Every structure is written in structure tokens, then in C-alpha cells.
Structure 1
Amino acid sequence: MLSELAPNHYFSGHSLTRDLADDLHSCFSRKPSAEVWEETVETIARIPEIIATWILEYKQESQNFRLLAIHSQSNIEIPIVISKYSLPCHHVVDSNMIFEMNLLGQNSFFQSLGGFTLDESRAMYLGYPIRSDIGTVIGVIGMVVDDKFKHKYKNLKLIDVIADQLSQELIRFKNENLISETLNTASFVKHSLAELFRLLSTQSIDLMVVCRNYLQTGLNLFGLPLGLIASKVGEHWEYSLVEGNIHGIFEGQRFSNEEAKFFIPNVPSSARILNQKSEISEHNVRDHLINLNVSCLMEFPLKVHNQTIGILGFYGFRDQKIESIELFQRVFELMGIGLANTIEKHNIDLLSKIVFLEKEYPIH
């Protein structure tokens, strides 16, 4: 029992010790992970002198923390996803050890936590690692504590027990997410390949119908609200085909070559994907899209006879993001290549018919 690991003198009062141990035991009784995180921080927060506590998952691939749960006596806010180096928790990850720090003068720390206020002269940060079964840090228990933290090292033995339990829960949580993501990826790949095969197998003499079919399919696959094909018309560009309902974007809308901001000569046929607002600027995105609060985009140059004749594009707005960028990029590029080949074949077929007619009915 966990009560054996929590002697009475850890906390102020015999019943509190026993209650905390019982709470911890019940926390990890095969409950949903979200409940485990919430009940754990609530339990830790009952230790005297702890002002706030939170649990973070560390995502090594992105160098970010993901907030799992937080409990605080003050108005503390942590974003759901936050950069590794925005919190002192990164010291725990880098050292793979317990880390403590006096918070006096740590303004950046308080800004990261929503700008809450407390008596900095008596506050400390205390971080405890949650390790995987091979010893790497996969999460952090973060705490703001009174620097008069009584029985700190004895209390940390209880935190150590909690970290061990959280390790198993977090490993299970990560594995379940990995399985879910793998299944979702497999489903998306299967569905997208079926859609690409359908598009490439469609026989239609109406190129406009073919292009609209590509746009409608892309909107469904990528989950973005706007799809369009822009074409070069003389010295200008225009939106030749538009699918979706975004006010301010319409078919026939023209803009100058300088405003296009997607036409880059001699660039290989690859998709351009911008998935963060910080990547979007007046230098690389058209002004009217910025004014409409575009948040992400996917654009692919349509090349026919080695000449860029148009752009296939899909766009998100406000706070939308593109999921699974690498996977989406590959599917999008296959779609763009397929559409470009279809346009090129259509032009060749049309030219062949003209040549045939000229032979059959020579113009005198």
C-alpha cells in the first residue's frame, strides 16, 4: 500500500497522510488517463506549502511540452502546448534530475504562466522527472512551492512514488495514442489512395469538371474550407476555379504577377506548405489572403510541358492548422502531379484532334 510509503510526519496531521495515500492508490485504478492526471494534481496540491502543481508530457520530436493537468491556488495558466524552453521544466528534461530554482526575479517564468502574481521572495520552482522504462524523461511534475517547504526530502519520496505511477500511465497513454494515430494514418492512406485512383481513372472530356473534382476531393481529404486553381493570364493571375465558401475569394478575381507570391521560377515540382501564422507574411502570401486571416496553406505548381501554367491550392483560416503535414504533403503532391498530367494529356489530345481535322479538312 502507498500508505506505508507516506509516514505520518510527512504532512501536518495523521488523517491527511492516510487520505493522500488512499487517493493516490485510487488514482491509478485503471481510470481514463484524463481523470488520472486531474486527480493526481489535486492530490499533490493537498501537500502543505504547495502553491501550484502541473503534469506535462514531454514530446521529444517537437521539443514541446503538452499540458496534461494543472491545479493552482493562484491564477496560473499554461498553454496546452508550450515550447520546451518557456518553462524551467526544461532543466528537468536536460539533466534527467530533480530541479529547483528560486523564482525571485524570474519574470519570464511568470509570463509563461499567464502573468500570475505571488510573493516571489518566498516562492520556488520544483520539478520532478517522469521517466520511461529505459530512463529517458517523458514528462515532468512541475510545482510552485513555498521556500519554507517542510519535510521537503521526505515529501519528495511520495512525489517519487507518484512519478513511478505516472510513468506507467504516461507510457500507456503514449502507446494508445500511437496505435490510434497509426490506425488513423492507415485509414487516411487507404482512403486517399482510393480517391487518387478514382481521380486518375475518371474519363471526361470536360477539363473544368475534372479540375472541380480534384478541388472537391482535396477539400474532403485535407479538411480545409477553400480550394482553388489559379492560372496565368497574360501578365496577371486569376482564380479560375474556386471551391468552398470564403467571402472575398471568387472566380475571375485577378491580381498582378507581383502579388501572386507563389510563382517561383525554376523550383522543382513540390508542394509549399505553411502551417503557422508566424510563417505567413506579406512577402510570401497574397495580401487579400492575409486580410482574410489565412492561417495555413498548401500550394502546388501545375507544370505542363515544363511550364508553370497554374497553382493548385488549399487554405485554412483563423486558427485552423494542417494535420499530419508530411503525410498530407505526399498525398497533395501526388494529387498535383496527377492533375498536371491530366491537363497535359488533355492538351495533347486536343492538339491531335486539331491536326486530324486539318488533315481531313485542309484550309485553303
Structure 2
Amino acid sequence: MLSELAPNQYFSGVSLAADLADDLHSFGSARPSEQVWEQTVQTIARIPEIISTWIFEYLPESQNFRLLALHSRSEFQIAPVVSKYSVPCHHVVDSNMIFELNLVDEESFFQPLTETLPEKTSAMYLGYPIRSDIGTVIGVIGMVVEDKFKHKFKNLKLIDVIADQLSRELIQFKNEQIIAETLNTASFVKHSLAELFRLLSVKSADLTTTCRNYLQTGTKLFGLPLGLIASKIGNDWEYSLVEGNVHGIYEGKKFSKEESKFTSAHFSNSAIIRKQLLSTSVEEVRDHILEAGISCLMEYPLKVHNQTIAILGFYGRNDQKIESAELFQRVFELMGIGLANAIEKHNIGLLSKIVFLEKESPNW
């Protein structure tokens, strides 16, 4: 394989094309993608002037890069996901071309790496695009190389061949991800509809049992460890029902209207979903919820006779994130509507019973 070639074979002139043709013929065949990424960076790293090399998958939806593999001579680390404009690889995506950058006086992304280089050694960044079959950039081969990059033309010919192979591998990888996500989505939809049907089909005279059933189902369905119903008591609130053992959150806990921090959006018919609590969103979250280590949330107003009487909520902890926010929101809203209808029917039944008793009572 390529990784088994000695570096000077890359530049042997006569044998270069034949060697690459033979070795690249089986490149990536019948192996897991993770092995392909790892072998590729090891192959590139065998070029003598390469200091570090990595492969990024570009995620246009989130404007991020996802690290697929990294190889470095020194202690250089890259986070699993980095924002697009925090690394020079974004120039490759924006220009759809090879990009070079001299790292002299570079103090951001590459500072931990440049600090480990010998004093007389300078370096440069070289980014090479991995393109889709229609020419858009779907990934980047990033490299830090010595400033005197020998055999640059032949090196780039090798990188070009590798990028072409990586293109096919990355397209297949993305397609497999799409298929897996679609299957997971279909499975979730099927399961959630079955659970919603079950909840709507259960007839119970005990409203507490009905509400607790919704909470237990929601925590399992959304994979979140805490579910609760906060009821409005006059102008204040209390946690009437709590599903999940979280310190500081318990049934009967009361808090004021000012402490509730329920946004005005709660009084519409839409669910509030915070996939990840960031500094920009904590202002609208209750302080005792944040103190309990909540990292994401889903909240929905339960309305009876067009009045918000309670909030149905599910919460994640310990840096947990909500991945499928749009799908979760629709299922969550259907669940909230079902529970609100159950509460309204219960109240109507209770009211009818009171009216019946009043008719039976003698007039004094």
C-alpha cells in the first residue's frame, strides 16, 4: 500500500506513475472509512517535509469542519468539530482552490504547533480541496509543511491523486450517513407515532396517572433524563410532577413568576427547544435549572380553554445536546396537544359531575 512506500519512491521519476497506479488501485477498497482516513494521513506524513497533516469533512449546514484523521510529528491537537472560520481551511472551501499561508507570526490555530518547531525552522500551511462529483468542496486535506517544500510539483501530484480517491470515499461515507440518518428518522417517526397513539388511546380517570405516563414516555422517546410539569398557581409556579432524579428539582418546588423565566413564546402554540444552552440563551432559563446542570431543554405550554395552565418540559444534562430538533419539535408538540386535550376533557368531566350533583341537590 501507499503507506508502505519509502519516501524517495514518491520522487523516483520513472517508477512514480506505475507505483502510484498499482498502490492506489486498491486504495480504500473494502475497508471501513476510519481506516482509510487514518492510512491516508500516514501516507501523506511520509513525505519528508510534512510536519502535520489532517483530513477535514466540510459540513455546510452548520458551517463547521469535522476532523476525520490527524497525523503530526509534534504534540498538535485538533478538536473533533471546529467552526469553519477558525481554521485557514475555510479559504480552500471559499475559493475551491489550493491555499497557502506562511505561518511566521501566526498566533491562532497553529500556535501550539509553531511553538514546538526548531527556532530556525519556519513553516507554511497548505490546504488541498476534496471535491464532490459536481466540483463543490466536501472536505480539505490540511498540511503544515516546511517552508522549503522540496519536490513541490511531484508532492502535489501525489496529493491530487489521493484527493481524487478521498473524494469517492467521502461521497460514499456521506451517502451512508444520509441513509443511516434516514433510517433512524423513519424508525423514530414510527416509534413516536406508536407511542402517541398509545397515549391517546389510554383512558384513565386519574389525571395524575395520565400526566406521569406522558412524562415517562417523553423521557424515553427523546432520550432526556428529566421530565416535568410546571403548573401555574395564581401568579406563581410549582413543579407538580417530576420524572427523573435530579438534585434540586422535586415535586412541590415553588418559584415566583419572576423566577420562572418562561418566555412569551410559551404563550403561543409552539414548543421552545434549546438544542444546547449557550451564553446567549441562559438568560431565559430558570437559575435553579441551570444550577442542576441542565444542558438542553424542550418546553411546551399546556393550554386549557386557550389559557396556559402548565408547562410540559424535558431536559438534558452533562453537556447532552438535542440533535434532531425539528423532528423532536413536531413530535413534542403533538404530545403536548394530546396531554392538553386530556386535561381539558378531565376538567369537562369533572365540571359535568358537579353540575349533575347540583341538579340532584334539594333547593333550600
What TM bracket, shorter-length normalisation? over 0.9
Is the 8 Å Cα contact of residues 271 and 299 (structure 1) preserved in structure 2? Answer: yes
Q: Kindly state the Cα deviation for residue 323 of structure 1 after the two structures are TM-superposed.
A: 2.1
Question: Cα–Cα, structure 1 residues 25 and 41, in superposed 2: closer, same or farther, change >3 Å?
Answer: farther
Q: Kindly state the Cα deviation for residue 82 of structure 1 after the two structures are TM-superposed.
A: 0.9
Q: Name the structure 1 match of 2:51.
A: 51
Mapping 1:1-364, distance limit 5 Å: 10-11=10-11, 24-110=24-110, 117-118=116-117, 122-264=122-264, 267-279=267-279, 282-362=282-362, 364=364
| 1-structure distance, mates of 2:350, 2:173 | 57
The residue type paired with residue 219 of structure 1 is: T
| 2-structure distance, mates of 1:221, 1:314 | 10
Question: Cα–Cα, structure 1 residues 51 and 22, in superposed 2: closer, same or farther, change >3 Å?
Answer: farther
Structure 1, gaps ≥5 residues long: none
The residue type paired with residue 202 of structure 1 is: V
The residue type paired with residue 233 of structure 1 is: I
The residue type paired with residue 127 of structure 1 is: G
The residue type paired with residue 326 of structure 1 is: E
Q: Kindly state the Cα deviation for residue 16 of structure 1 after the two structures are TM-superposed.
A: 10
| 1-structure distance, mates of 2:127, 2:29 | 25
Q: Kindly state the Cα deviation for residue 20 of structure 1 after the two structures are TM-superposed.
A: 7.5
The residue type paired with residue 92 of structure 2 is: V
Aligned-residue identity in percent: 74
Query: Aligned residues, how many?
Result: 361
| 2-structure distance, mates of 1:277, 1:15 | 57
**SS of equivalent to 1:58:** strand
1:66-124 CA-to-partner distances (Å, cap 9, x unmatched) read: 1100000111111111111111000000000000100112212226x788643586110
The residue type paired with residue 230 of structure 1 is: A
**SS of equivalent to 2:57:** strand
| 2-structure distance, mates of 1:149, 1:79 | 27
**SS of equivalent to 1:57:** strand
1:292-343 CA-to-partner distances (Å, cap 9, x unmatched) read: 2211000111111111111000011121011211100110111111111111
Is the 8 Å Cα contact of residues 295 and 318 (structure 2) preserved in structure 1? Answer: yes
Is the 8 Å Cα contact of residues 51 and 72 (structure 2) preserved in structure 1? Answer: yes
**SS of equivalent to 2:213:** helix
Question: Cα–Cα, structure 1 residues 42 and 357, in superposed 2: closer, same or farther, change >3 Å?
Answer: same
Question: Cα–Cα, structure 1 residues 100 and 230, in superposed 2: closer, same or farther, change >3 Å?
Answer: same
1:207-262 CA-to-partner distances (Å, cap 9, x unmatched) read: 00000000000001000100000011123211000001212211001111101011
Runs of 4+ in structure 1 over 3 Å off: 6-27, 113-117, 279-282
* TM-score (structure 2 length as normaliser): 0.92
* TM-score (structure 1 length as normaliser): 0.92
Structure 2, gaps ≥5 residues long: none
1:261-304 CA-to-partner distances (Å, cap 9, x unmatched) read: 11527841111111223156552111111112211000111111
Instruction: Give the alignment's Cα RMSD to 1 decimal.
Output: 2.7
Question: Cα–Cα, structure 1 residues 201 and 59, in superposed 2: closer, same or farther, change >3 Å?
Answer: same
Question: Cα–Cα, structure 1 residues 292 and 119, in superposed 2: closer, same or farther, change >3 Å?
Answer: farther
| 2-structure distance, mates of 1:42, 1:16 | 18
